[in-house]
A = this chain, B = another copy of it.
Amino acid sequence: DIFPKFATEGIDNGFQQPPPLRTRLICELIGTCLFVFFGAGCAVNSPDLLTVSAAHAIVTMWLVYVLGPVSGGHFNAGATIAFAVDGKMKIIEIIGYLLAQAIGALCAGGLLVWVFGTGTTLGTPGLHPGITVIQGFAIEFLCTTVLSFVIFFTTTYNSQKEAAFPIGLTVFSSFLLGAGRDGAALNPWRWLGPAVFSNTFRSTAWIYGVGPITGFLCGYGIFRLYKLIWNGRAGPYV
């Protein structure tokens, strides 16, 4: 119970009160769709590390800036599950967020087929030659641990609009580390959409589901420790 009930900001999104669930679900659907569409789309276009990393960072920044004040800007099963563990989301909201995100990712897969045709993996992340599955999992887990701590920290002490830039930059760092090794999904939906529509299912694909979700839970745990132990019990100055 360490987050305010809804990370929404009435002034920035035109609402006088928290937006209704249906509005937030539509935003999650659209946001997840656009993240997968622009991220995977650039991955189809270019193998260049900086280009692909910039693409994922940039789409994260403007999505969080624009839609973050409405739905909280999860766009990631890991984020939703971590917020759910925090205990402030109703069961209907959790299911709704996850379903909306999954549908959004599948819509992105459809758009990718429309734009890029068949015959490619549509940017489905996969282990590069010479990378072990443990190394791939390590990248997914470590990067999402860091990312989720940054998300929790910045959205707690800043508005969504201010948080959009450090969050996007953390995504940038993570892709610069991992995009040339395991494809760096950091997000189960980033794998789901392209994988389903390009029929690319590899036995190692579980790392893109388990890695981000455990990473987000780990980052949530660290932020909880920060709030409860290091920050909350802050005694007299040492």
Interface residues in chain A, defined as those with a beta carbon under 8 Å from any beta carbon in chain B: 11-23, 26, 34, 37-38, 41-42, 45-46, 48-51, 54-55, 58-59, 61-62, 65-66, 69, 111, 114-117, 132, 135, 138-139, 142, 146, 149-150, 153-154, 156-158, 161-162, 164-166, 169-170, 172-174, 176-177, 180-181, 226-227, 230-231, 234-235, 237-238
Supposing A50-B50, A66-B153, A115-B135 touch, asked if A237 and B180 sit within 8 A by C-beta, the answer is no
Assembled-state Cα–Cα distance A69/B157 (Å):
11
- CB distance A54 to B62 under 8 Å? no
Asked if A166 contacts B22 (CB within 8 A), the reply is no
Residue of B nearest to A49 (CB): B46
B173 touching A20 by the CB < 8 A rule? no
Partner of A173, one of B13, B59, B161: B59
Find out whether the CB atom of B115 lies under 8 angstroms from the CB atom of A62. no
Contact A48 B45 (CB under 8 A): no
Q: In the bound complex, how far is the Cα of B235 from the Cα of A21, in angstroms?
A: 10
Chain B residues contacting A50 (CB-CB under 8 Å) are 46, 48, 50-51, 54
Query: With A and B bound together, what is the CA distance between A38 and B48 in angstroms?
Result: 18
What is the minimal beta-carbon distance from A55 to any residue of chain B, in angstroms? 5
Evaluate contact between A227 and B14: CB separation under 8 angstroms.
yes
Given contacts A15-B231, A46-B180, 20 further A-B contacts (CB under 8 A): A13-B157, A14-B227, A14-B231, A16-B234, A20-B237, A22-B238, A23-B230, A26-B230, A38-B174, A41-B177, A48-B49, A48-B50, A58-B172, A62-B170, A65-B166, A66-B154, A111-B138, A115-B138, A115-B142, A117-B135
Nearest neighbor of A233 in chain B, beta-carbon distance? B20
- Shortest Cβ gap from A173 to chain B (Å): 4
A49 CA / B55 CA spacing, docked (Å): 11
Contact B234 A20 (CB under 8 A): yes
Please name 13 pairs of A and B residues whose Cβ atoms are closer than 8 Å in the assembled complex, sorted by A: A14-B231, A15-B234, A19-B234, A45-B177, A46-B176, A50-B54, A58-B176, A61-B166, A61-B169, A62-B170, A65-B169, A114-B135, A115-B138
Complex interface: chain B residues within 8 A of A227 (CB): 14
Report B-chain residues with C-beta under 8 Å of the C-beta of A231.
Answer: 13-15, 19, 23
